[in-house]
Structure 1
């Protein structure tokens, strides 16, 4: 079996070949010979990409198995390496294994400094718990990096971190139609008021739901309990926040990107996505926004499968595979020469659905309150089963901070007939 690095290198080589093929055969130079070579290369890239995804998805699968009671795989994956943990994660580990009584005086002092009044209030009213542990900044940053694996929106949105959940408003104005004027000498200046509105970036309290761990694992010195908890938190909180950041209603949950964005192109009943529709969607976004660095396409993998088959007026594919993605000198997958962001929470192609977005995704703000708090529960519901329970709370929010149309969506037509 090839290593994942060898697979990536082979995929990158194929993608570079296809990039060269497209660049060297513009317009009428693109013939059936080039199309056959392109199709063969894409098939091999798809095969290799599928194998890479199987490698990269192993940890997520192990975490999912653990949720169903099979912890062997995840336990082996998070076997502790002595000396590999920082001081901040050592405090988390001590708390998870033994509660507040297991913390040193230095760790306890640091914990009290990180606790906010609402966390202290929750600690005093949580039945059967040993108090809440507010993790250090480093541990929280590690968690947010892990959560990126569960939501493509986090890769391109603008993330801001705050110490509290206080209300945060952004003044916004649509000044795209405003302009100045020429005035004569000593002439009066005309009045032009701009209408402002406030866009709020509220946060909502998310729970990991309860996590039960057998006594035997907690007592196992080689079991990396903080990495295990972090993997489950990343999966559970990462999944629900990623979904809300895309399609959240804004009613007692974040306002999703697709919910907030304007529709830029609407297809007629029964029409399929084609080259013209994508061009129209792209140009529905003002050129000022199209020039920004975070501009690209957003769709799920199922929709991409269909879009990849679209060709331009010269019968050349409009999809170009990327190579060495994430590395200097590399290139992402591109559609009409714009980067593609795969976000599985995007809607599928269906009547009246919004399956594709285009624009500056940096206009979507994700707000994270850095007060991730873990409670260790030792009540009878867990003890009788030979377990210790854990639950974590964290506050996050999101909204599209834009009124001028930085992101537009493609809307499918209604059912034909």
Structure 2
């Protein structure tokens, strides 16, 4: 290996000297002639390619050398382990005594590290169930669409208990006016209101047999916890988008005002100009918020990606960084399957400052287990519960929607 490395070093030094000589010769000519000719440029690029190839080869050798050292260290560690001598547990003498009739039975201890499972419910008398089956030790869960409103940046209030929370808000500010000398100054008071956040309960119950929990080859309890949390999130997610506030949360689409209505006869579809108008229907203080963005379903985003401005540039810009959402007119796009599809009179796109939508979580997520609830059927019961509410606190125009025309 050392001889190969030495030859590579010599070769690299030779190539580098050729490159320098080429550059020095051009520099010595001076003036306009100091530039490399076409033939010299071709040679120079070839020399650079040779340098890159030598460097890559050297790196491969270094990696191979390290792998070889790691392998030798591993083998050395294995060979250094002492062999475990078979211990005499007295089984041989017990078998002899049993064979002579001196004992009615004998117990043979299994070798250390050996485990056994009982066989039950066999139906193939010819021994079909003795054929082993290889089991993949990870549960493969199918994918589903999940609520995306929580990714849009709402304000989340976590409380220990579920009493109602009143949030005071302003719905109008004071305004001043030009006043003549000695004239009465007009009164202008701010207008206040309050929004109330409750704690509506969402729950899901799951049951599994004790045999399944004991014998499964996957982390079934972990999967059930994850699946229960997703089910709760989806149940709340529906109301967080379209809830009407009657014994349930008020959705972000429900409480948003209309920023742009589509053209008559367009069957609810929007144009590039419609989205630009919706964008500017939200005033600058909300547009400049870090939580300002778009909310729509996937199919709607598919339509938005095809739109171009008057300069022929796409409105949509794909993200080039993992975990960063795509951009539409410079604002992040979040998708939620609960937002309405493009249709007549449908509110299919929301835009604005989603931090003005408050989500209240009371007591966190409860995931509990009971071995007694279904005692007579030997089932283990899992229960997951959240208490939550949602409401747009600032309803003065922080979030606006595009609505298709009525016809």
Indicate whether 1:401 and 2:397 are aligned. Answer: no
1:259 aligned residue: 254
For the aligned residue pairs, the C-alpha RMSD in angstroms reads 2.9
In 2, Cα distance between equivalents of 1:190 and 1:215: 76
Secondary structure in structure 1 of the residue aligned to 2:232: helix
Name the CA shift for 1:179/1:346 in 2 (closer, same or farther; >3 Å).
same
Q: Shift in Å at residue 228 of structure 1? A: 2.5
Q: Any conservation in 2 of the 1:202–1:397 contact (CA below 8 Å)? A: yes
Report the TM-score when normalising by structure 2: 0.60
SS at match of 2:347: coil
Question: SS state of the match for residue 163, structure 2?
Answer: coil
Q: Which residue of 2 aligns with 1:304?
A: 301
Q: Please, which moves more after superposition, 211-220 or 196-205?
A: 211-220
Mapping for residues 217-236 of structure 1, pairs under 5 Å = 217-220=212-215, 224=219, 226-236=221-231
2:379 is aligned to 387
Answer 1 or 2: higher relative contact order, Cα 8 Å, separation at least 6.
1
| Residue of structure 1 in register with 2:148 after alignment | 152
TM-score (norm 1): 0.58
Task: Name the structure 2 match of 1:411.
Answer: 403
Structure 1: tracts of 5 or more residues without a match = 1-71, 79-148
Q: Where do 1:338-417 residues align within 5 Å? A: 338-378=331-371, 383-384=376-377, 386-415=378-407
Name the counterpart of 1:289: 286
Matched-pair contact (CA < 8 Å) for 1:266–1:411: yes
Q: Which residue of 1 aligns with 2:327?
A: 334
Q: CA deviation at 1:383?
A: 4.0
Shift of 1:378: 4.5
Report if aligned partners of 1:212, 1:382 keep a CA contact under 8 Å in 2: no
Indicate conservation of the 8 Å contact 2:139/2:218, yes or no: no
Judge which range, 403-412 or 289-298, deviates more. 289-298
Contact 2:158 2:364 in 1 (8 A): no
Q: Which runs of 5+ in 2 are unaligned?
A: 1-133
Q: 1:174: Cα distance to partner?
A: 2.3
Task: Give, in whole Å, the separation in 2 of the partners of 1:313 and 1:73.
Answer: 58
Pairs within 5 Å for 1:17-416: 76-77=138-139, 150-155=146-151, 156-175=153-172, 178-181=174-177, 189-208=185-204, 210-220=205-215, 224=219, 226-271=221-266, 272-326=269-323, 331-378=324-371, 383-384=376-377, 386-415=378-407
In the alignment, the residues of structure 1 paired with residue 312 and residue 381 of structure 2 have an alpha-carbon distance, to the nearest angstrom, of 59
Structure with the greater alpha carbon radius of gyration:
2
Query: Post-superposition shift, 1:197?
Result: 1.1
Counterparts of 2:280 and 2:165 in 1: how far apart (Å)? Answer: 32
Taking the aligned partners of 1:162 and 1:380, their CA distance within structure 2 comes to 29
Rounded Cα–Cα distance in structure 2 between residues aligned with 1:317 and 1:284: 21
Tell me by how many angstroms 1:379 deviates: 5.7
SS of the residue 2:286 aligns to: helix
Name the CA distance, whole Å, in 1 between partners of 2:310 and 2:252: 32
Question: Matched residues in 2 for 1:236 and 1:396: separation?
Answer: 14
Q: How many residues align?
A: 268
Instruction: Pick the structure with more helix per residue.
Output: 1
Determine if contact 1:173/1:403 at 8 Å carries over to the other structure.
Answer: no
